[in-house]
């Protein structure tokens, strides 16, 4: 039975890439009955139909699965934020980091529009927040060509997903990596302070270096449906490192005595802003369990 990888999904059609080319497929009705839908990134089996199209008949087990953006089998998450237009949102950045950590993905933080940023101290501040948590931070500017060659090396040989707030420059970065794409880009609304969506669906793109990258629509909010409070701190690496030293097992790092995480915050070893976001996310998880 032929098989391949779903590289794009539009209006109920799944485009399956095979060595012979892409095949436009529908999904069998059994998936709808099971409330299980194919995702871009899935490895699938399919049957050809008489008109040369196909029908997806089976989905192989997924290594990873993201909800927003909806994609399967990603190796690396490239979380994109911009210094300006729109201004960097550490809340949104941390939200996606939590979901990428939960799926066990390799993570690269990529900050764009360095040419619009202020003094070097602004760049150093971001690195000071995320480097101690174990995250590499790549600074880029498409306009000035900063960091593009390093980004190409980071993408080689992997399936990476680009995700970030609308208007941060994901499509511009991809155009810099693959100029032949000529992906549409949009300006940031001055009134709203956020970008217009220029990517309408998730699509996997082939890279000359042998890897793949997924272009995805921007997101403006990312919740924690299905996550338990006890899971959250494991998605903050700097907290997970210190949790075994807490006095109580199952410590939520809120106001428990002998909490190693709170002590690390007081000593300046964990960024206070990251910790505030953790507490906010914890409250959101608690609230959604009440309803």
Residue 157 annotated as lining a ligand binding site: no
Residue 112 annotated as lining a ligand binding site: yes
Residue 169 annotated as lining a ligand binding site: yes
Residue 32 annotated as lining a ligand binding site: no
- Reading phi first (left if > 0) and then psi (alpha if -120 to 50, else beta), residue 140 is in beta
Report d(CA 213, CA 86) in Å as an integer. Answer: 23
- For residues 38 and 28, is the Cβ–Cβ distance under 8 A? no
Report d(CA 254, CA 256) in Å as an integer. Answer: 6
Residue 166 annotated as lining a ligand binding site: yes
Residue 89 annotated as lining a ligand binding site: no
Q: Which two tokens stand for residue 148?
A: 């593009």
Residue 37 annotated as lining a ligand binding site: no
Residue 115 annotated as lining a ligand binding site: yes
Residue 110 annotated as lining a ligand binding site: no
Residue 235 annotated as lining a ligand binding site: no
Q: In the structure, how many helices (H) and strands (E) does the chain have? A: 9, 13
Residue 164 annotated as lining a ligand binding site: yes
Could you give the dihedral angle defined by the CA atoms of residues 191, 281, 288 and 222, in that order, rounded to the nearest 10 degrees?
50
Residue 170 annotated as lining a ligand binding site: yes
Residue 233 annotated as lining a ligand binding site: no
Binding residues: 112-115, 164-172, 246, 251, 253, 259
Binding residues for GTP: 112-115, 164-172
Binding residues for Zn(2+): 246, 251, 253, 259
């Amino acid at each position: 039975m032929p098989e391949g990888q779903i590289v794009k999904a539009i209006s109920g059609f799944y485009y399956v890439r095979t060595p012979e080319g892409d095949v436009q497929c529908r999904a069998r009705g059994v998936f709808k009955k099971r409330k299980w839908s194919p995702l871009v990134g899935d490895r699938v089996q399919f049957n050809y139909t008489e008109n040369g199209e196909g029908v997806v008949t089976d989905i192989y087990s997924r290594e990873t699965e993201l909800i927003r953006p909806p994609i399967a089998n990603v190796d690396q998450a490239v979380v994109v934020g911009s210094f300006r237009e729109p201004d960097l949102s550490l809340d949104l950045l941390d939200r996606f980091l939590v979901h990428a950590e939960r799926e066990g993905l390799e993570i690269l933080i990529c900050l764009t529009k360095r040419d619009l940023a202020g003094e070097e101290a602004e760049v150093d501040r971001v690195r000071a927040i995320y480097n101690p948590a174990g995250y590499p931070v790549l600074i880029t500017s498409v306009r000035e060509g900063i960091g593009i060659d390093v980004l190409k090396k980071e993408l080689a040989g992997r399936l990476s997903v680009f995700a970030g707030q609308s208007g941060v420059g994901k499509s511009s970065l991809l155009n810099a990596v693959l100029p032949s794409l000529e992906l549409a880009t949009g300006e940031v609304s001055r009134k709203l302070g956020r970008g217009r969506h220029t990517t309408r669906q998730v699509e996997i793109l082939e890279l000359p270096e042998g890897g793949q990258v997924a272009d995805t629509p921007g997101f403006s909010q990312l919740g924690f449906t299905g996550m338990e409070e006890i899971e959250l701190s494991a998605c903050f690496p700097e907290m997970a490192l210190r949790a075994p030293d807490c006095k109580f097992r199952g410590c939520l790092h809120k106001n428990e005595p002998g909490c190693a995480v709170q002590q690390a915050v007081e000593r300046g070893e964990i960024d206070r802003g990251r910790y505030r976001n953790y507490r906010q996310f914890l409250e959101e998880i608690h609230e959604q369990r009440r309803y």
